């Protein structure tokens, strides 16, 4: 349940979340297994494996979007299609045309789909109506957008917005590197990506590499002086959570440090432990997001 990546969105201002109504709305799009000819299905699943499609604790809500996907590589379809086309051509004495090959490929796909392996996946989302956050545990925009699409189908009128700050993450991270000082409560860690703004987009990466020392500092200063900007930077917040901040406000490789996790090692049962973990995670992330937004100059006012 501990989130690893954060795609951060703002809930509509003044939203009053009715969890009973939300439960009913999520139930209109529950997860169904793939049928014989389905390539992919998705729907809401219980975060706790019971009959509830949401988990609520201290006004914080956890939901999960499940999915199944048939694993049918294009190379396999192409090989079966080629073999079948060769048999047909041998029988009729001439090659198949483009339309015939396209129809044959569709036929082969339908024949193979019922035998394809099925991969299951799950995407978590945390809803914080107190502070107005909707946060998806997603490493890619497509994964986050998939959950938002399912949520909009289930809950009419729930229009969430991406988080925008007065200062762009790229500009702020570049300034932090130039000054050698992270904002209050944060420290700079061992990941950095610098990219030029010209057409070449020349990029330099330091992956899990210390950024301390005169030699590295001189290299980074030279890249910044040449016009490169920081597009990714590893950071730690209050010695409790480490993460990598990206230029589009994406937060990746989230790690709750041992000092923080030790506070949850008290549960007497799996259910109690889950609640302890969720309470600690949601509480800490709400504080982290507030501090990060402040470090980036606050939220940008919505355009009228």
122-137 pLDDT, tens digit per residue, is: 999 999 999 999 999 9
CB within 8 Å of 231: residues ≥ 6 apart: 170, 173, 193, 194, 195, 203, 246, 247
1-23 average pLDDT score: 92
161-169 average pLDDT score: 95
Q: Is 260 or 45 the better-scoring residue by pLDDT?
A: 45
Q: H or E segment at 92?
A: helix 74-92
pLDDT of residue 158: 85
10-36 average pLDDT score: 92
278-304 average pLDDT score: 90
| Helix (H/G/I), strand (E/B), else coil: 10 | strand
CB within 8 Å of 47: residues ≥ 6 apart: 1, 54, 55, 62, 63, 64, 124
CA distance 183 to 233: 13
With a cut of 60, say whether residue 197 has pLDDT above it.
Answer: yes
CB within 8 Å of 59: residues ≥ 6 apart: 129, 130
- The residues with which 60 forms a beta bridge, in sequence order, are 57
Task: Name the nearest CA neighbour of 184 among 296, 72, 33, 94.
Answer: 296
With a cut of 50, say whether residue 304 has pLDDT above it.
Answer: no
C-alpha pair distances (Å), 243 with each of 37, 234, 250: 41, 6, 10
| Mean pLDDT rounded to a whole number for the chain | 91
pLDDT of residue 216: 86
Over residues 68-113, the pLDDT tens digits come to 999 989 999 999 999 999 999 898 888 888 999 999 999 999 989 8
207-236 exposure pattern, b = at least 16 Cβ within 10 A, e = fewer: eeeebeeeeeeeebeebbeeebbbbbbbbb
Cα dihedral 103/107/112/113 (nearest 10): 90
pLDDT of residue 83: 92
Over residues 232-279, the pLDDT tens digits come to 999 999 999 999 999 999 999 999 987 666 766 676 788 888 999 999
With a cut of 80, say whether residue 120 has pLDDT above it.
Answer: yes
CA distance 146 to 156: 16
Residue 14 pLDDT class (50, 70, 90 cuts): confident
Q: What percent of the chain has pLDDT over 70?
A: 97
275-296 average pLDDT score: 96
Q: What percent of the chain has pLDDT over 90?
A: 74
What end-to-end distance do the CA atoms of the chain give, in Å?
38
Over residues 99-108, the pLDDT tens digits come to 999 999 999 9
With a cut of 60, say whether residue 46 has pLDDT above it.
Answer: yes
């Amino acid at each position: 349940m501990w989130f690893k990546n954060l795609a951060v969105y703002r809930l509509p201002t003044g939203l009053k979340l009715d969890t009973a109504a939300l439960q009913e709305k999520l139930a209109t799009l529950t997860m169904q297994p793939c049928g014989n000819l389905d390539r992919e299905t998705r729907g809401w699943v219980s975060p706790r494996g019971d009959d509830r499609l949401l988990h609520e604790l201290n006004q914080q809500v956890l939901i999960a979007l499940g999915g199944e996907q048939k694993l049918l590589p294009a190379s396999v379809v192409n090989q079966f299609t080629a073999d079948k086309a060769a048999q047909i051509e041998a029988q009729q004495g001439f090659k198949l045309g483009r339309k015939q090959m396209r129809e044959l490929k569709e036929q082969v796909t339908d024949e193979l789909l019922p035998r394809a392996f099925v991969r299951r996946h799950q995407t978590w989302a945390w809803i914080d109506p107190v502070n107005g956050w909707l946060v998806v545990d997603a490493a890619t925009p497509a994964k986050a957008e998939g959950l938002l699409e399912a949520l909009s189908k289930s809950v009419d009128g729930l229009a969430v917005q991406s988080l925008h700050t007065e200062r762009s993450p790229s500009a702020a991270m570049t300034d932090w590197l130039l000054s050698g000082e992270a904002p209050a409560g944060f420290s700079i860690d061992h990941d950095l990506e610098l990219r030029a703004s010209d057409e070449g987009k020349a990029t330099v990466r330091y992956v899990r590499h210390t950024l301390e020392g005169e030699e590295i500092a001189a290299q980074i200063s030279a890249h910044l002086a040449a016009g490169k900007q920081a597009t990714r930077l590893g950071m730690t917040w209050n010695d409790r959570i480490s993460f990598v901040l990206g230029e589009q406000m994406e937060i990746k490789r989230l790690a709750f440090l041992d000092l923080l996790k030790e506070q949850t090692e008290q549960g007497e049962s799996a259910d109690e432990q889950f609640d302890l973990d969720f309470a600690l995670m949601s509480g800490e992330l709400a504080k982290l997001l507030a501090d990060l937004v402040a470090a980036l100059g606050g939220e940008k006012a919505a355009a009228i």
